[in-house]
């Protein structure tokens, strides 16, 4: 279904139809963004579902349909971060399992992956880096999505890049 945006970019009378059409248009994009954060299909799908729910509830607060993409991405990022925070509260493994895992990992060669690098960043750095290089947004678009001053977005990105450089240098020094 293609939604025709009225010339004044306001939400049409039939909110449900408009929302559904717009959400379907960006559903794969939302899934990809969620997957980058959580790294597994099931959690990414949960985030898509939560994003749909949260955005549907708040759809009437969106005044301009041209902003739907940035608005929905912001909701997706927030849902992903919320899920990651909830997962940090997981009950730890018992002592025997931890010892077994530790022993078995000794034989695995150390390696540095892109995911390891991203995981080393804080949430703000990771978000800005992903929006800039994975999604291709400009600094001003990222500023708008995150509701953050442009100068802050730039400094967060440069700090993230500096942290990544340090991490890769350390890994290179230790032969990883």
Dist. CA 132–CA 143, nearest whole Å: 11
Domain-wise residue ranges, the chain: 1-91, 106-176
Of 36-50, 83-97, 116-130, 151-165, the poorest mean pLDDT is in 83-97
Q: Which of 22, 98, 105, 96 is nearest to 62 (CA)?
A: 22
Fold of 106-176: Arc Repressor Mutant, subunit A (1.10.10)
What is the CATH code of the structural domain delimited by 1-91?
A: 1.10.1740.10
Average pLDDT for 59-74 = 87
Most confident of 7-16, 38-47, 127-136: 38-47
pLDDT surpassing 80 at residue 102: no
- Residue pair 34/80 in contact (Cβ under 8 Å)? The answer is yes
Check residues 87 and 12 and name the one with the higher pLDDT.
Answer: 87
Percentage, residues of the chain above pLDDT 70: 73
CA 69, 72, 74, 80: dihedral to nearest 10 degrees? -130
Of 16-30, 89-103, 139-153, the poorest mean pLDDT is in 89-103
Burial of 112 (0-12, 13-18, 19+ CB in 10 A): middle
**pTM score over 0.85:** no
Report the pLDDT value the prediction gives residue 119, as an integer from 0 to 100.
76
pLDDT surpassing 90 at residue 43: yes
Average pLDDT for 102-116 = 52
Q: How confident is the model at residue 91 (pLDDT cuts 50, 70, 90)?
A: low
Which residue shows structure tokens 């442009």?
Answer: 150
Average pLDDT for 119-147 = 85
- Residue pair 131/142 in contact (Cβ under 8 Å)? The answer is yes
């Amino acid at each position: 279904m293609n939604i025709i945006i009225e010339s004044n970019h306001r939400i049409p009378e039939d909110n449900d139809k408009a929302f559904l059409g717009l959400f379907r248009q960006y559903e794969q994009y939302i899934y990809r963004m969620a997957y980058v954060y959580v790294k597994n299909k099931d959690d990414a799908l949960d985030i898509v579902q939560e994003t749909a729910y949260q955005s549907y509830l708040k759809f009437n607060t969106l005044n301009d349909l041209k902003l739907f993409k940035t608005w929905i991405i912001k909701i997706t990022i927030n849902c992903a971060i919320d899920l990651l925070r909830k997962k940090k509260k997981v009950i730890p493994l018992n002592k025997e399992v931890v010892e077994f895992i530790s022993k078995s990992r000794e034989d695995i060669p150390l390696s540095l992956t892109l995911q390891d690098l991203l995981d080393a960043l804080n949430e703000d750095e990771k978000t800005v880096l992903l929006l800039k290089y994975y999604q291709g947004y400009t600094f001003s678009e990222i500023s708008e999505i995150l509701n953050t001053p442009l100068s802050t977005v730039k400094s967060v990105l440069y700090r993230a890049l500096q942290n990544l450089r340090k991490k890769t240098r350390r890994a290179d020094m230790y032969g990883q």
